Structure 1
Amino acid sequence: MILVTGATGNYGSKAIAYLLKKGVAATNIAALVRNEENYQALEEQGINIRVGDYADIDSMVKAFAGVDKLLLVSSNDRGAIENRTKHHINAITAAKQANVKHIVYTSFVRKNGYENSAIAGFQNSHVASEKFLKESGLNYTILQNGIYQEMILAFVGDKVAETGTILFPAQNGKASWVLREELAEVAVNVLTTQGHENRTYNLTNNTSVGFEKIATYISEALGKEVSYITPEVETFKTILEKAGVPEMYIGMFIMWGTALGEGMMDLEDNTLESLLGRKPASVNQFIAKIYG
């Protein structure tokens, strides 16, 4: 039995779809949901529905009963980052109590110097979670995923076609953007093949791309010029405040923009290609599909 947490989310739902595509019987797949809502599509496919919450160890021990392999999709709790660490530790603790044999954990790409970066807190959560998992005695595979290509859409804004401008404080920073769907596919490949026990994989793209290049790609897809402007953080913050953007989102944009400028996600690697069995989707291909 393979159980997927976050089963109704973008990543978890794609992982379940790939498990079925791989030929894993629906009766051998379980989906963890927080409540008995919004899971009808999974249930109709014959997927086992398990109710559990990252904040409740006992609920997860029950949910993990009979599970051999667990795809632990990292928590997306919008509260304090420390909440996520606790959620991961709870899930690992519950898995051990339930005699799960192997955990595949979705972490995040990490480079030297992360401790002093804009995403230090975010990274520290994954570092602590990875450490706890390694010390748990369970077999593990850690997937250090690159930043999603889908995040580009949030950073360039939904009016880029109208304004012809990308305004984002990432300076000249690049990232090895990856397609979320391909990361989910690799997770399934790991879950359904041998030889991945106690391994850590960097899952990033072969080529890193910055926003100057992204602006060029969008220009080509739209057939009109799109320029990239990278203001200082305080200027960017003021612009967003005047536009009425909620403070939570301003903080998120600044954090990721600054981290991109620091090069914290610029890590080219061919492991994703190897585990996919093909070249991963490029940023240019993603942009062309979205804006073409």
Structure 2
Amino acid sequence: MGLHPQIHTPILQRQIVYTSVQGAEEDTVFSPVIQSNRQTEEDVRNSGMNWAIGRNGIYIEPDIEYIETYKKLGGISNCAGDGKCGYTMRPELAYAYARMLTEEKHNGQTYNLHGEAMTQYQLAEYMSSAFGTNLTYTPMTVEEYRQDRITELT
């Protein structure tokens, strides 16, 4: 009779790692999207499975990809005013989500995934420094911004 090594197979756990978003649940144009995500988060928490939730900040890549247009326009214009935004990069998020999937200590946790919050004025300064240009930020009203987007995208 030969010796048969025991094979230990890891127990597969049922787990949800949900990619959510940050934002105000009331009084913004994006509030319905935020409310929908919060409901899904609650559904995930009540699923009976292991879970972790990441609430993503705003991706910085679209602004970086738009740098040539910002240069042509002389700056950044939108309706953010003095509001602050915590940007993040997709590779940073991929790293965070990989950790949530592979490390048990994240079970039952909700994370806001973003960098240090900054204003659009600061974003213009940082992008100017990084890309050797002189961008400024010009605030617009919500209606001006809506019209600007409609004009550019049609």
Instruction: Tell whether the structures are fold-level matches, with TM greater than 0.5.
Output: yes
User: 1:108 maps to what in 2?
Assistant: 21
Is the Cα–Cα contact under 8 Å of residues 100 and 107 in structure 2 kept in the other structure? no
Greater than 6 Å deviation, 4+ residue runs: none
| Correspondences of 1:171-182 after superposition (within 5 Å) | 171-182=81-92
Say if 1:192 and 1:173 are closer, same or farther in 2 by CA, change over 3 A. Answer: same
d(CA) in 1 for partners of 2:97, 2:117 = 22
Q: Given the two structures, how large is their TM-score scaled by the length of structure 1?
A: 0.45
In terms of fraction of residues, the more strand-rich structure is 2
Can you give the 5+ residue segments of structure 1 that lack an aligned partner in the other structure? 1-66, 70-100, 247-292
What's the CA shift for 1:158?
4.5
Greater gyration radius: 2
3-state DSSP of counterpart to 2:43: helix
| Correspondences of 1:191-202 after superposition (within 5 Å) | 191-202=101-112
Identity level (%): 28
3-state DSSP of counterpart to 2:76: strand
What's the CA shift for 1:115?
2.1
Is the Cα–Cα contact under 8 Å of residues 161 and 222 in structure 1 kept in the other structure? no
Which of 134, 144, 149 is residue 235 of structure 1 equivalent to?
144
Can you give the 5+ residue segments of structure 2 that lack an aligned partner in the other structure? 1-10
What's the CA shift for 1:220?
2.1
d(CA) in 2 for partners of 1:220, 1:197 = 40
Higher relative contact order (CA 8 A, sep 6+): 2
d(CA) in 1 for partners of 2:96, 2:148 = 39
| Correspondences of 1:143-154 after superposition (within 5 Å) | 143-153=54-64
d(CA) in 2 for partners of 1:230, 1:239 = 12
d(CA) in 1 for partners of 2:111, 2:147 = 39
| Correspondences of 1:161-180 after superposition (within 5 Å) | 161-180=71-90
User: 2:125 maps to what in 1?
Assistant: 216
**CA-based RMSD:** 2.3
Is residue 245 of structure 1 aligned with residue 126 of structure 2?
A: no
Say if 1:68 and 1:151 are closer, same or farther in 2 by CA, change over 3 A. Answer: farther
d(CA) in 2 for partners of 1:68, 1:158 = 48
d(CA) in 2 for partners of 1:117, 1:238 = 18
What's the CA shift for 1:124?
1.2
d(CA) in 2 for partners of 1:157, 1:219 = 9
